[in-house]
Amino acid sequence: MDEADQVSDEQLWLRLAGAEPGERAEITLELAERAAGQDDHERTVTLAKAAAEAAEGAASTSAQARATYLAADAHAELGRIEQALAGYQAAATLYRAVLDEECVAICHFRAGWALSAGGRLDEALEQWETAERLFAGQPNCDDEVGKCALARGGALQRLGRPEEALEALSQSRDAFRRYGEPTQTTWADDQAAGVLLRMGRSGQAVGWLEQCEFVAEAVGDPYRLAYARLRLGVALRTDGRLSAARRSIRRARRGFRQQGSLADVAQCDRETAVCWPCRAGRTRPVAASTVPGPCSTPPGTTRPCAASTWTPASCCGTSGDTRSPCR
């Protein structure tokens, strides 16, 4: 449906009346994808199931796979983990039937996020490891490999396995470097710094966060730069370098204020207060920072085959396309 974006929903519904099975599948799938784009997940499930049935009747395995995947994604958004997992497994089987291993990998990746949302981290790790292995076997998929390793790093942190988390984050960093996108590399660096801080290795954490600050400044991203400086200030404070910490947090505060982010300005004020000495001449206790942790859910990839949102929600503020993969 090359002109689907220029056709209204009403026109698509009218076309359904006399449509052949193959066209019916494509029209219904287009309506389902539009419902997903509007976060109408219940409607998405209904339409995607209808599209999958029509596609099966038309012997269109590719369309059936897309519809099955879309229904699974909607179930995941609604918190129906078992239904989502069954859907992702079915979609992966269909994609494998049409020899599309990259989309098989995407199904495993999304299944990992559904499991993670339900607290089933060990199972999520298995899905992400499978996805990473499949992506690694495909050309030009370093971006996806990096995101899989990044997801594993976040899960390993939550499972209390910091050394393994650092190894996964190192693999993520290497993949992003091969991909050639420095901003994505900072996702891994920022998470690794958080792990190091919790391990009491604040000096090493400072080094990684200084790299994040350098990259954010180089690419001209004001909000990311302010965030990096706030995180760096907290690490410097933890390392006992209070003057440097205050300078970094003040710079972060200015950046957030210029961006109009008052909540982040207030966070800077709270973090700065911890850096000032108490009346007795002793520094305040350096508590664990309340600064939000690093972004472990990167934005959706722009690759055509992986256009689906990578996670149910993106904390980076730029969620990906909610349409099914391999459109």
In the chain the domains, ranked by start, together with CATH numbers, are 1-99 (1.25.40), 198-285 (1.25.40)
Give the chain's residues under pLDDT 70.
Answer: 1-5, 277-327
Tell me the C-alpha distance between 41 and 58, whole Å: 25
Which of 136, 197, 137 has its CA nearest to residue 165?
197
Non-local (6+) Cβ contacts of 320 within 8 A are: 299, 300, 301, 302, 307, 308, 309, 310, 314
Asked if residues 274 and 237 have their Cβ atoms less than 8 Å apart, the reply is yes
pLDDT score at 285: 42
Helix axes 81-97, 101-117, angle to 10 degrees: 170
pLDDT at 20: 83
Which pLDDT does position 4 carry in this prediction? Answer: 52
Say if CB 159 and CB 121 are below 8 A apart: yes
* Maximum separation of any 2 CA atoms in the chain, in Å: 84
- SS3 (DSSP) at 277: strand
DSSP string across 184-251:
HHHHHHHHHHHHHHHTT-HHHHHHHHHHHHHHHHHHT-HHHHHHHHHHHHHHHHHTT-HHHHHHHHHH
**Residue 9, pLDDT score:** 76
Residue 114 and residue 133: Cα distance in Å, rounded?
19
Tokens of 170: 């190192």
- Calpha distance 319→324 (Å, rounded): 14
Q: Is the pTM of this model over 0.85?
A: no
Distance CA 204, CA 197 (A): 8
Which pLDDT score, from 0 to 100, does residue 3 have? 53
Q: Which amino acid is at 102?
A: E
What tokens does 155 get? 């899960």
Residue 17: the pLDDT is 77
pLDDT of the residue at 320: 36
Using CA atoms, how far apart are residues 44 and 52, in angstroms rounded to an integer? 12
Q: What is the pLDDT of residue 288?
A: 43
CB 74 within 8 A of CB 44: yes
Amino acid 309: pLDDT:
33
- Name, in order, each residue with C-beta under 8 angstroms of 183's C-beta and a sequence gap of 6 or more: 215, 216, 219, 221, 224
Partners of 219 in beta bridges: none
Instruction: List, in sequence order, every residue forming a beta bridge with 277; answer none if it has no partner.
Output: 283
